Amino acid sequence: MGPHPAVAAIRLAVRRVLHDVLNEFAERTERAPRPELADAGPGRRRPTLPERPDAPLVLVACSGGADSMALASALAFEARKLAVRAGGITVDHNLQDGSDVRAAEVVARLAAMGLDPVEAVSVHVGRDGGPEAAARDARYAALDAAAERHGAAAVLLGHTRDDQAETVLLGLARGSGIRSLSGMAAASGPAGRYRRPFLQLDRQTARKACLVQSLPVWDDPHNVDPAYTRSRLRHEGLPALEKALGKGVVEALARTAQLSRDDADALDTWAAEADTAVRDDAGQLDCAKMYALPPAVRRRVLRRAAVEAGAPAGSLFARHIEEVDRLITGWRGQQAINLPGRVEARRQGGRLVIRQS
């Protein structure tokens, strides 16, 4: 008799990602330079090729919640059958009393699954961008550092289809454009470090997998705290939408994310190619050539230019780009536009100059 359907589903999702990691690792290994085998002369041994590097290390980011505990269990199971080393990281945000004790418990559970290395990383959460954004920034910084420290090929994250739907709705509420509607990518970060195997699985599947495997889980009280936007959306917004529109809202939003990502990727590629064509010999943006671009492409070129000039990508919103765009499409002799990061956009002699002031 095979495993429970929920357990089979999470294992299959992780197995697919691990195969991707292994294929990418093999390609990098093949491209790595090898020492030349020159003739060593009579009576001498030729130098031997180095042994194959160790199997790639894959880490799971585990909070102790149902999604990440299910992910950790699937990684531990699948890694034993593949040429993959598996480890785990839990991040202690120090936002609740006893968080260090919980982090130690998660480490013990990961070690009991056979994961190695496992560790808890303590972080300080700042205030920039609000509590949720600050915690996320601190968490990813810690995971990046851990991945570098251990030489990990990938870090698995337990985001589910439900998380994807929430992300799409949050992007829609911000009015940030199609890129925000594309939600979370299956692979993101430096060289695709972060992998999200569960984006096609719902939250209940992960919880059921923990239940049938008798895995203890921790429910973060922040996830039901109405002070947090995502919590309100999860417990009030999405249920209200499903009541008004019927079941299937989560699946439809996740499908919207994938379609939006495909469109956004295509527009980004177009913008990258157009960026070179609309610049003069001095590298400045030619306003006449910019005006001829479709608005979606033009605004992407402007955003790229602002980020390259030093504007923080996370602080650069649609309203900023719209104001800069008006220097091209609605020129009336406006003053310079101030952007985050002390970056200034100014029109001069038919050129758009974007630089730090």
Encoded tokens for 257: 């994310």
Cα–Cα distance for residue pair 306/150, rounded to 1 Å: 34
- Return the HEC string of 279-334: ECCCCCEEHHHHHCCCHHHHHHHHHHHHHHCCCCHHHCCHHHHHHHHHHHHCCCCC
Please, which contacts does 125-131 make with residues 24 or more away whose CB atoms are closer than 8 Å? 125/93, 125/94, 125/95, 129/314, 131/228
Read off the DSSP letter of residue 46.
Answer: P
pTM of the model: 0.83
Cα–Cα distance for residue pair 290/279, rounded to 1 Å: 9
By three-state DSSP, how is residue 276 classified?
A: helix
Q: Report pLDDT digits (tens) over 169-185.
A: 988 887 767 888 899 99
pLDDT, residue 150, reads 96
pLDDT, residue 34, reads 54
Read off the DSSP letter of residue 48.
Answer: P
131 Cα distance to chain centroid: 19
Q: How many CB atoms lie within 10 A of CB 141?
A: 13
**What is the length of the chain?**
357
The ranges of the chain with pLDDT < 50 are: 35-52
Q: Report pLDDT digits (tens) over 71-123.
A: 999 999 999 999 999 999 999 998 888 899 999 999 999 999 999 999 999 99
pLDDT, residue 64, reads 94
pLDDT, residue 33, reads 65
Read off the DSSP letter of residue 153.
Answer: S
Encoded tokens for 41: 């002369």
One-letter amino acid for residue 266 of the chain: A
- Return the HEC string of 55-121: CCEEEEECCCCHHHHHHHHHHHHHHCCCCCEEEEEEEECCCCCCHHHHHHHHHHHHHHCCCCCEEEE
Cα–Cα distance for residue pair 353/87, rounded to 1 Å: 48
pLDDT, residue 130, reads 76
pLDDT, residue 48, reads 35
